Structure 1
Amino acid sequence: MKLINSFATELPWACEPVAPQPLANARLLHLNRPLLGELGLGEVSDEQWLACCGQARPLPGMQPVAQVYAGHQFGGYSPRLGDGRALLLAEQQAPDGQRWDLHLKGAGKTPFSRFGDGRAVLRSSIREYLASEALHALGIPTTRALVLVGSDEPVYRETVETGATVLRTAPSHLRFGQFEYFAWSGQGEKIPLLIDYLLRHHFPELESGAELFAEVVRRTARLIAKWQAVGFTHGVMNTDNMSILGLTLDYGPYGFIDGYEADFVCNHTDSGGRYALSQQPAVGYWNLQKLAQALADHVDGEALAAALGQYEHQLMLHYSELMRARLGLETWEDEDPALFRQMFQQLAADKIDYHLFLRRLALVEASGPWPASLLTLLPDATPWQGWLDAYRARLAREGSEDATRKARMDAVNPKYVLRNALAQGVIEAAERGDMAPFERLYAALQHPYDEQPEFEELATPHPDWYLGEALSCSS
């Protein structure tokens, strides 16, 4: 273990020292042992992790701080947000030299809690733990989960729930909102120091704020392209939830689509659909504009504009690559966008399960009947006949070989997806004290592209009553 505290010591004006608060009857629920080992933390005992994450006894060398930031929330500017229920305990320097934040969520009140209690509930903690590891297994940049702790601490949300903590990790939790806070609070002189910190510790290959912003644009575009391709809706794409490193950050009312719905909204407080699935690319650009405005006094304006001008190209290029791969296509044709568009239109018209459709599409062969398992997803195959014929013809034009293509498609179309109904079942069991369903789902999500017949029931369509379920921000 090699703990350092570069953020706390180099940027003391960007955080406040805060001691975590203990949970009543805290108990260790899960450790991500493989990742702890990769980070050089494998020798820390279970008892030490429980003490650190549930009993307010940080490991020796930790200097807990709450980071300050601002952000645009649903389009309106909130001038002072910050880590209201989370603490940066320290940074671990892994054996390969990489730095990793150790960030404890649910640790109690901080100077930025406003009217909140600084707590997280078991429900939301399980959702974040599972989602971060599920997205990582899907190849999507994200924070990761290290430790899950439960307790008997009463926490008041819509009902009385129990408190929990998640120790999450990432190379950095710096977000767009940090730059906004210092830009609009009369402390603009701090922004060059933030840029310098990022360049030294996270982007040593870059030389300037202009290059940094261009890289943030590229990473954000590619991240959102991945979200769109896999059918993931973040739910609260406020600028304070946007990572400078291009990571999926702050899991609240997220959702993977079930039956395809382009305008799927997973957050029931998002009545206007600002953060609907179809709106995420545009919101990503809007958020980058706000970051550019915060940087405008310190980075050349033409460079900022040029970088923003690359966003749509970067996003569409990567999205097109991802969707061609998901359909088993190795070459580009000018008619491909129309093929994609017609597929999405028919998926939406019939509310077809997005994930199972793409997974079973791999069974299509050059000739012969359509796969029975694919047809069972379609309420009526007749409207699909034209598209399926066009798809088969498209495969023939590039000389696609059935078995090879199926292997490629299975490697990019997950069989196991963290659907909200699955997460809810795990949560209800955990609230009864049964973590076995959590362990089972967690194990399946580690290998989402594999067949895993022992987990077959976790890969089936979910009941109509749960399709499109929206969640609250307190999730």
Structure 2
Amino acid sequence: MQAMPYRPAPLLSQSGLDLFDPVAAANFPQTILRYRNTRAAHSIGLETVSDADWVGYFGRFQPLPDNQPQPLALRYHGHQFRHYNPDLGDGRGFLFAQMYDDADRLLDLGTKGSGTTPYSRGGDGRLTLKGGVREVLATAMLEALGVPTSKSLSLIETGEALMRGDEPSPTRSSVLVRLSHSHIRFGTFERLAYLNDVATMRALVDFIRAHYYPDKANAAELFDAVVSNTARLAARWMAAGFVHGVLNTDNMNITGESFDYGPYRFLPRYQPDFTAAYFDHSGLYAYDRQPDAVLWNLGQLGRCLTLITEPEPLIASLNAFSDRYQSELEQAICARLGVIPTGNDAPLVAAFFKLAQELRFDGSFEGLIYDAMTGRFTTSPRAASYQGADFDSFKSLLNGYPRDRPERLPHPRLQQPDPETLLYEEIEAIWTQIAVEDDWSLFNAKLVAIDVWREALAL
């Protein structure tokens, strides 16, 4: 594989936009490299960096060559569980650098657990090692399943004992570096609307159009594209059986890419009301309510943009969300089932979800998708469950579709009886081995298995 050039592009720091504060990284007592994403590093020209220099960049945050001279904590507000909070911002992370990747996209290197900032709100600015492990696993699995997601570039253990109320403490600490297609959140716009800062909002829209949506002529066209990309993201979550957990406006960005994985879960079986966050008492961000949550968040972004453009085209874009989401969901489900969409795919998708809800055994969501994709209903370990009218209806519809890339099926991974999963119990077992024995073998093996799964699915 030919080495890619490193192409620094610290454009936000040079933009003159009043959106951030220079900050300093924490001085950690240790920097133990636990994970580096070689494939992601290759895409931005950092694959050949030595481990020692890697730790210097991503554990000590020495500036990358010709990049930002200092980390930047971004300012933003946000609706958290639909309550407005003006006291947000990067509280335990910052924008460390920007560069172009091998697809000529402008990417950000952002951190999590890198120390306190003016927006830490009394917190310690740190990330537990378990939280870092969970995010590395989440991003790898979501990428494998075709979800637009940030990528975990680096995880370094930092040698501090952290106190947390939601896990046994003291617990180990880490700093994560993620590679994202934009650090600019819906909450960035909410802050500017709150301040009635028309000039900065216009300049921010121009910056986003120039670097992320160059074919969009104005704020209304930009918003319309964000609506489409976010509808695609929500559909991909649903097709992956993924529950984000905390869909606040500060956890959504303008390129339609998923990021910031705290209390996430993958469905063990289809449960419309399944929640990932123990504190989501009302089920606001439950699995089946994620599209509605995304639409509500888009509404807040649209409201902000009325500061600089007429509301009518923004409302029209919001009204188009449901149809765009449904179209994206049909395409995403067809892709996961291994069939080519026909343009009349709503009956198949409805039959899939109806059957998925009927199958109540753990693992049924991914198991059903896997068996449908591989055509293994009769020989699957789950074969005894495939019976009844709902199954017959789904299978009949599925059999009427042309197969999508059947040449994938001989892949050795697709010859195995079970799909790759990332369920809660698996993550807990991986963490327990790390916490009790400092044994990273399960973690590393799982990442290898997920990468093989990604190659086999080729979504």
- State the TM-score, normalized to the length of structure 2: 0.89
CA contact (8 A) 1:328 1:406 kept: no
Report the CA distance shift for 1:363/1:38 in structure 2 as closer, same or farther (over 3 A): closer
1:58 aligns with 2:58: no
CA apart distance, 1:187: 2.2
1:91 aligns with 2:91: no
The match for 2:393 is: 390
- Counting only pairs closer than 5 Å after superposition, residues 235-384 of structure 1 correspond to structure 2 as 235-330=245-340, 331=342, 332=344, 335-336=347-348, 338-347=350-359, 349=360, 353-362=364-373, 364=375, 370-376=378-384, 378=385, 384=387
Opposite residue 232 of structure 1, the aligned amino acid is F
Q: 2:11 aligns with which of 6, 17, 40?
A: 6
Report the CA distance shift for 1:307/1:428 in structure 2 as closer, same or farther (over 3 A): same
- SS class of match (1:206): coil
Question: Which whole-Å CA distance do the structure 1 matches of 2:397 and 2:408 have between them?
Answer: 13
1:155 aligns with 2:159: no
State which drifts further: 437-446 or 418-427.
418-427
- SS class of match (1:154): strand
- SS class of match (2:388): helix
* 1:131-179 per-position Cα deviation (integer Å, ceiling 9, x unaligned): 1122122221111111110022111112211210111112311110000
Question: Which whole-Å CA distance do the structure 1 matches of 2:258 and 2:113 have between them?
Answer: 19
Q: 2:427 aligns with which of 420, 423, 442?
A: 423
1:112 aligns with 2:115: no
Report the CA distance shift for 1:126/1:210 in structure 2 as closer, same or farther (over 3 A): same
Q: 2:37 aligns with which of 25, 32, 35?
A: 32
- Counting only pairs closer than 5 Å after superposition, residues 174-189 of structure 1 correspond to structure 2 as 174-189=184-199
CA apart distance, 1:406: 6.4
State which drifts further: 254-263 or 4-13.
4-13
CA contact (8 A) 2:43 2:101 kept: yes
Opposite residue 344 of structure 1, the aligned amino acid is A
CA apart distance, 1:55: 2.9
Opposite residue 427 of structure 2, the aligned amino acid is A
CA contact (8 A) 1:415 1:450 kept: no
CA contact (8 A) 1:48 1:59 kept: no
The match for 1:206 is: 216
CA contact (8 A) 1:80 1:181 kept: no
Question: Which whole-Å CA distance do the structure 2 matches of 1:140 and 1:414 have between them?
Answer: 21
Question: Which whole-Å CA distance do the structure 2 matches of 1:253 and 1:174 have between them?
Answer: 22
Structure 1 vs Structure 2 CA RMSD: 2.8
CA contact (8 A) 1:130 1:442 kept: yes
1:170 aligns with 2:180: yes
Q: How many residues align?
A: 442
Point out where structure 2 has 5 or more consecutive residues left out of the alignment.
Answer: 1-5
Q: 2:147 aligns with which of 131, 140, 149?
A: 140
CA apart distance, 1:29: 1.0
Question: Which whole-Å CA distance do the structure 2 matches of 1:445 and 1:269 have between them?
Answer: 29
Opposite residue 79 of structure 1, the aligned amino acid is P
The match for 1:455 is: none
CA contact (8 A) 2:216 2:222 kept: yes
- SS class of match (2:13): helix
The match for 1:76 is: 83
CA contact (8 A) 1:150 1:164 kept: yes
Question: Which whole-Å CA distance do the structure 2 matches of 1:96 and 1:32 have between them?
Answer: 17
Question: Which whole-Å CA distance do the structure 2 matches of 1:51 and 1:399 have between them?
Answer: 51
Question: Which whole-Å CA distance do the structure 2 matches of 1:350 and 1:260 have between them?
Answer: 9
CA contact (8 A) 1:219 1:245 kept: yes
Report the CA distance shift for 1:59/1:232 in structure 2 as closer, same or farther (over 3 A): same
Opposite residue 375 of structure 1, the aligned amino acid is A
Report the CA distance shift for 1:344/1:127 in structure 2 as closer, same or farther (over 3 A): same
Report the CA distance shift for 1:426/1:58 in structure 2 as closer, same or farther (over 3 A): farther
* 1:39-75 per-position Cα deviation (integer Å, ceiling 9, x unaligned): 0112322112212222353334432110010100001
Report the CA distance shift for 1:185/1:394 in structure 2 as closer, same or farther (over 3 A): same
